[in-house]
């Protein structure tokens, strides 16, 4: 649909143009959401972040068709009094800002807790006080471990979906002990969800909570040593992309046995747009957003990415495709892991009629084509440089 034609919501009503205050708009999800809003809708975006690299292409030059509909405000929501005024200018607030990389959970536990709970608090409070609708980004990690993970390894009940499918309105949130600081992230996210929910219950805040299940695609995180710190540890897509680009073995943490379901960012963004444009159907709900059909172990992900990368790059497959590393070596003391993450899709299906479309193979093919095109030359140059001390 072109921005000028009248777009209709799921109930057939014309969609009014909104002003959206998007916090964390310069991140992975934010960049895709901004792109979608600019190319397919007539909504305006006040884009707040400390970085703008991932949305640079949307901000300049002035000849872009959406000129004037997106404005970037460089600010840190921790300590910037402009936040309240920007929220007041908007019809809807979307909060994406967070520290959400597992390598940080046990090495920067205070920053993780502050970022996911304390820094999100004023946003919730301002929205509640000024009657602004809020879409808050939580995480599938609030479910923690599955019930099934506590059953004996050979228990047939482990095959029963009742013991592993994660349901917004039924599943418990099961975290490990305090010294496993990975769960500080999940716990902070859980508490802010409870606070948003309570503001809805007591003060009438109109809210939607999103629980992303491993959304992946272009622009996710950074490639160490190219557009991020060389010692940095991004999420698995960027770690494995980096290894493939450099022709190194992919590192499997604790055997790579954990399971994940991966959804293509472009499918997931469709779900967010439905939430934005169908408030009557989305308000008061918590939504899992993932692709239950794309489940793999991390080891299988490594194997599939290696095959796909070999195809899209034309390079030879590496002689040693994977190596095992312990989580202690890779992430440090206090790391723990989610065992399995299958999202139940009943609620999002019923409320918004959304279903993910893209298979894991297809989403890896487009994503690794992007990675190769964006980074292969830069990596070659870095590798060719003599090491200077
Ligand atoms: P991201 O790190 O790419 O984006 C987060 C953005 O927030 C960054 O650009 C960062 O600069 C910004 N930010 C952080 N603190 C800020 C502050 N104090 N002031 C201003 N800006 C700040 O991560 P993402 O993958 O885009 O995730 C967005 C949200 O979705 C997060 O809340 C995350 O917890 C949640 N989430 C994402 C996934 C996923 O699969 N990508 C999974 C679970 C949860
Ligand atoms: N992982 C891995 N090798 C890497 C990076 C990550 O084996 O180089 C594993 C990690 O231990 C976890 C899974 O991949 O089991 C997904 O990690 P990610 O950082 O993407 O985030 P998570 O899904 O755990 O939040």
Which of 214, 193, 184 has the alpha carbon at shortest distance from 111? Answer: 184
| Terminal alpha carbon distance of the chain | 55
Candidates 143, 185, 331, 335; catalytic one:
185
φ, ψ (nearest 5 deg) of residue 56:
-50, -45
Ligand nearest to the CA of 32: 1
Residue 331 alpha carbon, nearest atom of ligand 2: 11
Is ipTM strictly over 0.90? yes
Distance 263 CA to ligand 2 centre (A): 15
Q: Does residue 102 have its Cβ closer than 6 Å to ligand 2?
A: yes
CA of 199 to the centre of ligand 2 (A): 33
Ligand nearest to the CA of 215: 1
Average pLDDT, the chain: 96
pLDDT given at position 103: 94
pLDDT digits (tens, 9 = 90+) for 68-81: 899 999 999 999 99
Residue 155 has pLDDT above 50, yes or no: yes
Q: Which fold has domain 98-380?
A: Rossmann fold (3.40.50)
**Ligand 2 atom 22 nearest Cα:** 102
Do 135 and 94 touch, CB atoms closer than 8 A?
A: yes
Where exactly are the structural domains of the chain? 98-380
**SS3 sequence, 233-261?**
CCCHHHHHHHHHHHCCCEEEEHHHCCEEE
**Residue 256 Cβ contacting ligand 2 at under 6 Å:** yes
pLDDT band at 323 (very low <50, low <70, confident <90, very high): very high
User: The pTM is what?
Assistant: 0.97
The ligand 2 atom at the shortest distance from the C-alpha of residue 103 is 19
Can you give the pLDDT at residue 1?
A: 47
Query: Which DSSP string do the residues of 322-378 spell out, in sequence order?
Result: EEEE-HHHHH-TT-------EE--HHHHHHH-------HHHHHHHHHHHHHHHHHHH
Place of tokens 């095992």: 324
The verdict on whether omega for the bond into residue 61 sits within 30 degrees of 0, i.e. cis, is yes
Residue 107 DSSP code: T
Ligand 1 mean position, distance from CA 99 (Å): 6
**Taking a C-beta distance cutoff of 8 angstroms, is the pair 211, 142 a contact?**
yes
β-sheet bridge partners, residue 193: none
Is the pLDDT at 61 greater than 80? The verdict is no
């Amino acid at each position: 649909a072109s921005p000028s034609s009248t777009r209709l919501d799921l109930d057939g009503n014309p969609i009014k143009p909104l002003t959206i205050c998007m916090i964390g708009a310069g991140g992975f999800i934010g960049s895709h959401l901004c792109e979608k809003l600019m190319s397919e809708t007539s909504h305006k975006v006040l884009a707040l972040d400390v970085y703008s690299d991932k949305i640079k292409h949307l901000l300049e030059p002035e000849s872009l068709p959406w000129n004037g509909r997106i404005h970037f405000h460089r600010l840190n929501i921790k300590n910037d009094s402009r936040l309240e005024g920007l929220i007041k200018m908007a019809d809807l607030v979307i909060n994406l800002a967070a520290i959400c990389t597992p390598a940080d959970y046990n090495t920067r536990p205070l920053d993780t807790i502050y970022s996911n709970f304390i820094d999100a608090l004023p946003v919730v409070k301002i929205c509640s006080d000024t009657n602004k609708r809020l879409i808050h980004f939580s995480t599938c990690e609030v479910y923690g471990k599955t019930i099934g993970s506590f059953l004996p390894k050979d228990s047939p009940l482990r095959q029963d979906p009742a013991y592993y499918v994660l349901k917004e309105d039924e599943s418990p949130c099961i975290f490990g002990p305090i010294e496993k600081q990975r769960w500080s992230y999940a716990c902070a996210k859980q508490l802010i969800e409870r606070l948003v929910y309570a503001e809805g219950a007591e003060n009438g805040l109109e809210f939607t909570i999103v629980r992303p299940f491993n959304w992946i695609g272009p622009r996710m995180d950074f490639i160490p040593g190219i557009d991020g710190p060389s010692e940095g540890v991004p999420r698995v897509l960027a770690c494995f992309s980096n290894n493939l680009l450099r022709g190194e073995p992919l590192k499997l943490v604790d055997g790579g046995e954990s399971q994940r379901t991966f959804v293509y960012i472009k499918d997931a963004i469709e779900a967010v747009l439905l939430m934005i444009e169908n408030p009557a159907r989305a308000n008061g709900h918590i939504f899992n957003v993932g692709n239950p059909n794309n489940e793999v172990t991390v080891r299988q992900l490594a194997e599939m990415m290696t095959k796909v990368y070999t195809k899209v790059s034309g390079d030879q497959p590496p002689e040693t495709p994977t190596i095992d590393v312990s989580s202690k070596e890779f992430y440090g003391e206090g790391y723990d892991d989610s065992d399995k993450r299958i999202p139940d899709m009943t609620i999002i299906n019923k409320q918004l009629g959304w279903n993910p479309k893209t298979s894991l193979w297809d989403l890896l093919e487009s994503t690794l084509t992007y990675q190769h095109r964006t980074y292969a030359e830069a990596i070659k140059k870095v590798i060719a440089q003599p090491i200077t001390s």
